Structure 1
């Protein structure tokens, strides 16, 4: 089967489309014929050698497609079903992928739209769980990005009031998602205070822009703040850094369809690329040229 891989670390040009043996599902897993696979910043970090140092490597932890093989003990899904979910091996950017956790593709979504969901909604739901967000006021720093938009909508669905930072160009979008927008940058704390004079109950840092001290003040202590992007700052200020290998919120895959069907959740695809244009997709993603999720399409 055709798959994305690289044999050395470096620029996007090290990415290749290679032939790999077809994977087969272990007990409790399914295999899909991939129709779309999500692209994430962790992909270029892996390609640059900032994560796993082993070579060669494949890419892709989220995908959508049609089930074509069932592992032993799998029930509730049949060959031909449209599903989306997580690949345990990081090899979802390929013609075939094994999924260890999956859910039906909501009827209103395309494969590309479904493939954009898993990483963003799991990351957002996990952080909200770790903060214990239900009611109250949540401040999200970096609310206009893919994970930020997911966190805004999931928090609103839980009954929270959300204040979200973003550039002025994103404010209409944030309002449409249910957040009260504020501009980031100098004076952000004062602008938040106008909306929440007594501060906020919790704060989530998605952007990693060195804002943790201000978030700690606004939320009343580091125990009320979680960052998804500032590992060094978390260590310096006693803030929890939310990691993808702890307490994953996989339940959100099965719950998100209800929110989508009710019109309470949307996560736009920014741009799609054919599998063969993976290097160009990395160039675009690293440059921040597109707002919204980047997705690979597999014919």
Structure 2
């Protein structure tokens, strides 16, 4: 037996529980991973409430989570390149990563660099591939200016760094408590809230060329008001605005083979060229507390479960 996060119906944080479940058995092409860390994401909360059930239907009891890092316990038939004892990072396609043991397709795994902490490794897939896809969608270039909302959050904190690596000037919208971190990464911090458009114009006298919205709530309209062309605006949070104005919604799926991007990002972090801040780590039994913190939407970086 092992423990795993489960819920039996759509609802709030109170539907989450940790159950004893049968030990998973790897099938063809699968690997059984003993999970050392599993990241949590706003998208999982949306799935749990049923708000996106037309896109992500659920069967009950449902597991939760896709990000994970851990140690291989068993490999199924047809698996090559991995063996028990290997330290790996990857993603679970069946929303079952928040568990002590998780089945993962071998093609969705890559080796964990030795210098990468378990917390960072287990939190990297969703935010990393999403940030990569969103920045790639707006194609910032040297000499241009790109604005990123939610710049200190899980996706935003990686997106600002990836955008800086293109040579573009990056303006990050965040609360003042996160401005020093943004400055230390070469990002121009701007406080969100009333008057934000004027503050952006003051910080970007040459205009804004691209905009990545990781937060939602009016930033697509702000980008358009700043004169950014629709094809250089990407939102991962405001799909209604995207449909209305014809802006992009590229994120994880558009990044291409996830394991390849994951390996690239993990290597950059291990080499000290990128940073993924960790806001907090919780034991599996405190999954409700972890999502309570997440849903306040004011964390700097990622929240992670440690089964």
* TM score, norm. by length of structure 2: 0.89
Residue equivalent to 2:187 = 179
Counterparts of 2:9 and 2:277 in 1: how far apart (Å)? 32
Q: Does 1:59 align with 2:64?
A: yes
Using a 3 Å threshold, how does the CA distance of structure 1 residues 74 and 154 change in structure 2: closer, same or farther? farther
Residues 14-33 of structure 1, C-alpha deviation per residue, up to 9 Å, x if partnerless? 21222333334444442211
Q: Is the 8 A contact 1:149 1:177 kept in 2?
A: no
The answer for unaligned runs of 5 or more in structure 2 is none
1:75 Cα offset (Å): 3.1
Q: Does 1:128 align with 2:129?
A: no
Residue equivalent to 2:287 = 278
Residue equivalent to 1:167 = 175
Residues 90-131 of structure 1, C-alpha deviation per residue, up to 9 Å, x if partnerless? 101111112231222222222122111111111000112222
Q: Does 1:213 align with 2:218?
A: no
Using a 3 Å threshold, how does the CA distance of structure 1 residues 202 and 72 change in structure 2: closer, same or farther? farther
Q: Is the 8 A contact 1:157 1:264 kept in 2?
A: no
Residues 145-192 of structure 1, C-alpha deviation per residue, up to 9 Å, x if partnerless? 111001011122233321111122211111112211112223222222
Residue 152 of structure 1, aligned match among 153, 160, 175: 160
Using a 3 Å threshold, how does the CA distance of structure 1 residues 30 and 132 change in structure 2: closer, same or farther? farther
Q: Does 1:37 align with 2:63?
A: no
Counterparts of 2:262 and 2:251 in 1: how far apart (Å)? 18
Counterparts of 2:136 and 2:28 in 1: how far apart (Å)? 29
For the residue of structure 2 that corresponds to 1:117, the secondary structure is helix
Counterparts of 2:119 and 2:251 in 1: how far apart (Å)? 26
The answer for unaligned runs of 5 or more in structure 1 is none
Report 1:1-299 matches (<5 A): 1-51=2-52, 52-100=57-105, 101-135=108-142, 136-242=144-250, 244-248=252-256, 250=258, 251-288=260-297, 290-298=299-307
Counterparts of 2:251 and 2:266 in 1: how far apart (Å)? 25
Q: Is the 8 A contact 1:155 1:162 kept in 2?
A: yes
* TM score, norm. by length of structure 1: 0.91
1:213 Cα offset (Å): 2.0
Using a 3 Å threshold, how does the CA distance of structure 1 residues 39 and 257 change in structure 2: closer, same or farther? closer
Using a 3 Å threshold, how does the CA distance of structure 1 residues 160 and 73 change in structure 2: closer, same or farther? farther
Query: CA RMSD of the aligned region, Å?
Result: 2.0
Q: Is the 8 A contact 1:34 1:94 kept in 2?
A: yes
Q: Is the 8 A contact 1:37 1:62 kept in 2?
A: yes
Residues 218-237 of structure 1, C-alpha deviation per residue, up to 9 Å, x if partnerless? 35311110101111111222
Residues 66-108 of structure 1, C-alpha deviation per residue, up to 9 Å, x if partnerless? 0122234433332211111110111011111122312222222
For the residue of structure 1 that corresponds to 2:234, the secondary structure is strand
For the residue of structure 2 that corresponds to 1:181, the secondary structure is strand
Q: Is the 8 A contact 2:148 2:160 kept in 1?
A: yes
